[in-house]
Each structure stands twice: as structure tokens, then as C-alpha cells.
Structure 1
Amino acid sequence: SLYGFAKQTQMAVPTAVGTLLLGFGLLASRPDRGPMRLLASEGAGGTLVRRLIPMIVLGIPLLTILRLAGQAAGLYGTATGAWLFASATISLFVPIVWRAAWSIEHADAEKRVLAKELKRLSERDPLTGLYNRRRLHEEIVRQLATLHRHLRPFGLLVIDLDRFKQVNDTAGHAAGDALLVEVAHALKRQLRSTDYVARVGGDEFVVLLPDVKAGTVEAVTEKLLRSLREIHIPFGAVTLTPCASIGGVTCLPPGDEAWTPDSVLHAADLELYTAKAAGRDGSSLRSLACAI
């Protein structure tokens, strides 16, 4: 009985119950702090605490009463009672903790999947699925580091669709979007799995070509221009056929100038302006000697 339990303690049962209620009341009065904040949390800690509370509040006192009742009835001695109490407590706790652990693992797995998806979204262009400017910048940093350490040249091409604004003005933005998506697919089909292609502006793309050999950048440039000229997209009453200008650089060791991602992109942009000034639907390329 409760009073049998009380004989084993230094506090009367009503006093103990009152003390517990007072403690719970004090905790509940500050729900934004300490244990109550954890209890209300939607995180893994809150889940575990909420599952353990019934065991702590009801399970342990009930087991204590049963243990003392058994001892009082002469069914077992103090040592055996203590062993039974410990065994029963473990038997109750293990399934609860096990379920909580699985819940936490499931929640963590969902968070990992979500974090991976968020990372993907943070580095991709939402329309074309290509890399965005941020991810491109990271890759150029890596290629410059590889150039300095292992003397491996790389190429960078800036591609701008000629007269793309006319497509939007005459056929509408939906047609422009369809054309951009098809251009993205065409570029990817012509590149190696180790190459990178990004959309960095409305109708501007950048291709990064790691570990190139002599003539690689020139050959890839011509291949990309041909693939873009072959695009024909029926859209309503019109057929969309893009053409593009390409400015590119090949970064080679050794040299005296220290290049950065921004300065490499700027150099390729200058070549793009040269290509457009020469009549569009063409290319202009140069080499950069990079300090190592």
C-alpha cells in the first residue's frame, strides 16, 4: 500500500504527493525555460522526454508499491525485492528507449534527406536544373587550386544567346523558358561527365572544362555552336531556333598573373563582347597564363 511505501521513506505520502505537485506547478509556471521547454520541444529530446514521463510518474511508483507489498507478504526478502525491482524497471525502460531511439533515427534520416535536397536546390537553377553562379564560383576555385598544384589547365566558356529578348517579346516568356531549357539540355549532351555547365543570368550560360589539352576548348566551342544551331522547337505558330556567341579562355601554367574566379570570368566576358562585335553566332578565344 502507499502507507507501506511510506514506512520506507522519511516523508509521509500526502507530504510527498504535495511536494511533487508543488514541483510540477513550479515547472509549469515557466513553460519557456528548463524542463518544460524541453518537454514541449518538437525535437528528438522532447520526444524522448515525453515518452519517459509516464514511466517515471506511474511506472516506478507502481513497481515500488508492488515490491514492498511482496516483501510485506513474505514472498521474498529485501535483496530479492531489489533485484526484481531493478529487473522490472529495466524491462519497462528498454522498449520505451528503443522506440524513442528509432523515432530519433527516423527523424534524423528525414533531416539528412531534407538537408541534401536543400543543398541541391541552393546550387541549382530552378528553371534548367543547371548549376547556378554560386556553385560555379566554387568549381572555378577548385580548378584554380588544381592548376596551381598539379599544373592541369582548364577552360571556361561564356555563352550568350543572341537576340534572346526578341523571343520573349514576340513569342512570350513561356517560349523563352522552353528555349532556355532546350539549350541547357543541348549543352549537357555535348559535354563530358566531368564538365560543369551553369546558368548565370537570363540567357547566359557558363561551361567549365577541367583538365583540358591543346585544342580541347576550341573543339568544344565549335561543337556547342553546332548543337545550338540544330535546335528547332515548334511553339505555337513559330519555330524557335537559337544562335549564340561564345567567349572563352584557357587557363594555362605558368605565368606571372594571379587569377581569381571573378577575373577569369571577366576575361571570358571580354572575349564574348569581341565575338558579338564580330557579327554574333561565333566565338572568340584566348589563353591566360596563370601564376603558380
Structure 2
Amino acid sequence: MITSSKRKIREPRITLVGAGPGDPELITMKGANALKDADVILYDALVNEKVLDYASVDSIKVYVGKRSGEHSYSQKAINKLMVDYALNYGHVVRLKGGDPFVFGRGFEELDFAAGYSIPAEMIPGLSSSVAVPGLQQIPVTHRGLSESFWVVTGTTASGKISNDLYEAVRTKATVIVLMGFKKLKEIVKLYQQEGKNNLPVAVIQGGSTENEKLAVGIVDTIMEVVEEKGIGAPAILVFGEVVSLHPQFQPIKDFFAAIKEEL
């Protein structure tokens, strides 16, 4: 338990804040105001630390890690820290990358706070699943190309591919895979088994940040393009005809058109 006897403690409360995909300017105004008011901020690995510039210089800032495969703190430990800081300091902001309710375990944290009768609220953030492709001018839906989109986790708690992916690859929907870079080869095989070898694919690393990298190809070539571009995690995967709208896909369109003419 963390204690402090040198300052007046405000009423405990917790605010979950989505920091957005990475660019510090993409946090909402409400989220930035919550940071400014916070006594303590617990932030994750996927949060751009420049977002902390919105916070008071007097606030306590605690890095708690939480990146897939590299958890600095267990979820149980983070829950306890969140409550302890609230009881001893006042307003705690739990700052998470993207949106807390999109594979962010945000509701678990709200539920834990409720168990201690601590008032809690959630401030949404821009999810990388939609914002990152959008920043690359790849819409997740587009008339004539895609009428819906799936957002799927690439890896479940058991370390296996999500069962939902087996269903998603059979649809005509845009499929956005989060936390799935290490499973890219397996996901590619699923699409190949469905005969979707020429389906457009984009892999975006560090979306919305100055270190952003992009690979554009088709199912049969995307592994080679990713290697050529030197792309690694964290990255999101976008499978669907909408990727063909990206300017870098034009040469691939021209290639297929030339083959069609020859036939």
C-alpha cells in the first residue's frame, strides 16, 4: 500500500483514457484534460510518452509496460496499483494505447475499481484498427469494395490464432488484425487455403508515429515485402480489397492488368 501524509488527498477516482494510435495530437481533448487533472498516471508501453506533456508536472507518472509478450506488470498487479494510488493520492488516470475497450482489457479495470467502490469512467481513444489505415488513406469500408470490417486479435491468451480469424478470412469484409504480426505467416496460409492469393494486404508498423513503416502487397507476396521493408512489431495487418486504393498498390494493379491483356 502506498501512503502519503504530506499532502491533502482528493477523493479517489479512476479515469481510463485512450491515448490513440501513437501521434500525441490524436488524443481527445477530454483525454488531455483528464491527464492535466490527474494526480497519478499509469501508462502502457504502446503510449507515446509525449502524450504525458499534457499532464501536470507535479503528477506521478508510472510506466507499467503491457506490450504483447513483454508484460512488465501482470494485469493483477496493475489493477492493484491503480486502486492503491487512487486511495492514497486521489485521481488516477489509467492511460492506454488506442482505445481501452478494443483489446485493451479496459472493462476489467473498471470492474476492479467498482469492487472497491471507487468512481471510475472511461474516455474513448482512437483505435489503431481504424485510425492507422485511415491515416494511410486506406478506408476500412468503401462502396463497391467492402461493406463491413472485422477487427480481430491475432493471438489469443493461449498463444493460438483466434478462431474468429478462420471465419473472417471466408468473408468479403476488410479484416484488421491487431497483435498479429508474429502470426502473419499463419494468417497468410489461411487466406491461401481460401484461394485468396491475390487479395491486397497492408502491414503498418508504428502507425501515426514518426517511425511508421508500410508494406503493401498481396497475400502471396506480403511476407517478402515485409522482410524487404524491415517491418516488425508492433504492427497492424489489413486484409481486403480496400488496400488496393493505396497509391503503392498501383504498380501491382498495372502488373495484373498487363497479364490479363496477354491472356
TM-score above 0.5: no
**TM-score where L is the length of structure 1:** 0.22
- Asked which structure has the greater RCO (Cα within 8 Å, sep 6+), the reply is 2
The structure in which a higher percent of residues are helix is: 1
Larger Rg: 1
Normalising by structure 2, we get a TM-score of 0.24
